[in-house]
Structure 1
Amino acid sequence: MLVRTTARDGIRRPTAARGLRTAAVAMLAAVALASCTQDTPQDAAPAPASPSAAPADNADSADNADQAEQAASEPTEEPALPAEPAPEAVRDAFATLQATLNDTCTPGAGDCAYFLGRVTQELTELDEAMRADPKGPGHFKQPLADMKTLFTKLGIDRSTPHLEKHFSAIVGTRDGINTWMQDHPDDYR
């Protein structure tokens, strides 16, 4: 037992070297953290080449590590998020509208709420996408005019009875836009 204890004591004696290693590891972690959170990585101090660096170098590095820790704890400005998501591309919006082409309902039978709501929503999203398209709204003059006429008729009331009242206008606008887009394949392929 005496030999083991002496051997353990022999390993534990150079506490100054272990302290330097611990400090070096702590500084590396602080520098790494600071370089991840600062805009200018040149402000962070480089890590010492070895744990046996001169004590003056370690003191300077410790000061830099303290500065790096302070900078890391300061709040950073986050970029502002856009208020609304960007409108879909015309191709994507048209594809979702096309998915309604084989669907229909019978006004007054109680099966139109989902269908008419969906077609109206798809037309609204297509309108937004066409207005935001790099080709400009002038390129989509006819479909935008058709949707504007429909939206004027509908107003803000999106209740099922109101949408059923305008069933022909909603479905007719959808079908007219489909025909127009088929004549302009470069806009949706």
Structure 2
Amino acid sequence: MFRTTTLGSIVTVMALATFSVSCSTVSEADPGDTPTVASLPERSASPTEPATPPTPDTTPVEKVRDAFAGLQATLNESCTPGNCGYFLNRVHYELHRLDRAMKADDKGPSHFAEPIRLIEKLDTEVGSDESFENLKKHQTTLIATRDKINVWMQGHPDDYR
């Protein structure tokens, strides 16, 4: 009995000593190298400065099925306070990602004529202004385009499986 209690006490003391040493140990790195909360990038929830997905010009062309999966991922999302800017930018980005994939696909752009035409029509209405205010103004058209392309793609399962 004495031996078990002593052994338990020793283990407890060792564990506490280990934790206290690890918490008080100071790294030899320059304190300026340690990131602070203020230095970490933050996700903007402001509708005037939405967090945006990568720009289309820097993203490599993907397969249609991968780009369509990205677009489908937006189907259960909506424009909610604090997320609307991100959501609208993401739908816009995913539509153009799919557009690039369709145009680069081996089947050729003529196979995807309807979705490509819908995106061109959207671009005519939205223009080159990808700001939150402009996308919010054209939100109905943006979402309708997404939904129409989703329906078209559902009728062409060979293109995304």
TM-score (norm 2): 0.62
Aligned to 1:103: 77
Q: 1:161 aligns with which of 133, 146, 158?
A: 133
Aligned to 1:132: 104
Name the structure, 1 or 2, with higher relative contact order (CA <8 Å, separation 6+).
Answer: 2
Aligned to 2:93: 121
* Closer, same or farther: CA 118–84 of 1 in aligned 2, 3 Å: closer
Q: Which has the larger radius of gyration?
A: 1
Alpha-carbon distance in 2 for matches of 1:173, 1:184: 17
CA RMSD of aligned residues (A): 1.7
Alpha-carbon distance in 1 for matches of 2:65, 2:148: 16
Task: Give how far 1:158 is off.
Answer: 0.8
Instruction: Output the amino acid matched with 1:96.
Output: G
Alpha-carbon distance in 2 for matches of 1:120, 1:164: 11
Counting matched residue pairs gives 105
Instruction: Output the amino acid matched with 2:134.
Output: H
Task: Give how far 1:152 is off.
Answer: 1.2
Task: Give how far 1:85 is off.
Answer: 5.9
Aligned to 1:180: 152
Aligned to 2:66: 92
2:131 is aligned with 1:148: no
Q: For 1:46-57, list aligned pairs within 5 A.
A: none
Identity of aligned residues (%): 55
Q: Which runs of 5+ in 1 are unaligned?
A: 1-82
TM-score (norm 1): 0.53
Alpha-carbon distance in 2 for matches of 1:85, 1:124: 11
Alpha-carbon distance in 1 for matches of 2:155, 2:77: 22
Task: Give how far 1:112 is off.
Answer: 1.4
Alpha-carbon distance in 2 for matches of 1:92, 1:114: 20
Encode CA deviations 1:34-83: one digit per residue, 9 max, x unaligned.
xxxxxxxxxxxxxxxxxxxxxxxxxxxxxxxxxxxxxxxxxxxxxxxxx9
Alpha-carbon distance in 2 for matches of 1:163, 1:136: 29
Instruction: Output the amino acid matched with 1:132.
Output: A
Q: Which runs of 5+ in 2 are unaligned?
A: 1-56
Instruction: Output the amino acid matched with 1:165.
Output: K
- Give the ranges of 4+ consecutive aligned residues of structure 1 lying more than 3 Å apart after TM superposition: 83-86
* Closer, same or farther: CA 179–158 of 1 in aligned 2, 3 Å: same
Task: Give how far 1:86 is off.
Answer: 4.0
SS of residue paired to 2:110: helix
